[in-house]
Structure 1
């Protein structure tokens, strides 16, 4: 996709974040961050990588999982119909990790749209609005902390799948949750090892 189109999608998502009613969803998105290729020099990109920070506790948003209600939120904001790759995060932990490197905040519930960041992304000067890089120690600690949360979530998702395995009803939501949780755990384990 063209750079200008990617920036358009990001801007549109930031606007949608500010328009959603606060009582409509089980959780609230409180920040929208962009990371990845869109923070570099203008060029065609495959996807717009964003981090959606929720008001949920850390244990409810393990790495590479989706909180309950995320699909509904994604449909309401057109996130699911546009070329986004979204990572869900908790406001109770840093947004950055081994994959979300030096993101830029483009919207927050407290301050609205960060026009400076959107202009910088559009101009290819996002380096000016990106967060500082963590130290190697901070990054290693962050990954270890996320790995612990992810392992706890993996055990829980496995148990929920096991409990529902032979019960009536659809198994897909439980198998999808187990798949996402496993993917996140293995990704973090690879970084630690």
Structure 2
């Protein structure tokens, strides 16, 4: 077995020189401007266009598209890394009150066509509205596809792929998601 290798620590002076040269590098400033621009147009500007209740709690790491077609209800929580992409034309995403999105949830009201033989980038997109009822809980990494509807009080398991309509108080999981149980409200266990 070879001896452990230790990285030599930089002196304070060397670290200060590295910091100053990095701060003066125009490439660093260019990258910073790109990051700020991306954040502004994928989060700030889109949320300004959306109808968001002031009591909603939205992670600064969430990303939105076509905010004018986005409605977020009261006391809704949207976790880090979530994507809510409404349709560019009419496909609205509506999220009811008191709904919780875990981290890394993808909700997209659009999908590419792929049957006509043209490259994917050149094909038109289909779009359909998405409705997520009040008091729902969307687990980490779940994907909700165009045209889906979750009734009031529904729960979506982690990493599920939701396509279609589900009645109130459904517990759905899997790929594709299917009803695995029903939530019972107001009953003592």
TM-score norm. by structure 1 comes to 0.24
Bigger RCO of structures 1 and 2 (CA < 8 A, at least 6 apart):
1
Quick check: which one's helix share is greater?
A: 1
Structure holding more strand per residue: 2
The two structures have a TM-score, normalised by structure 2, of 0.24
Higher-Rg structure is 2
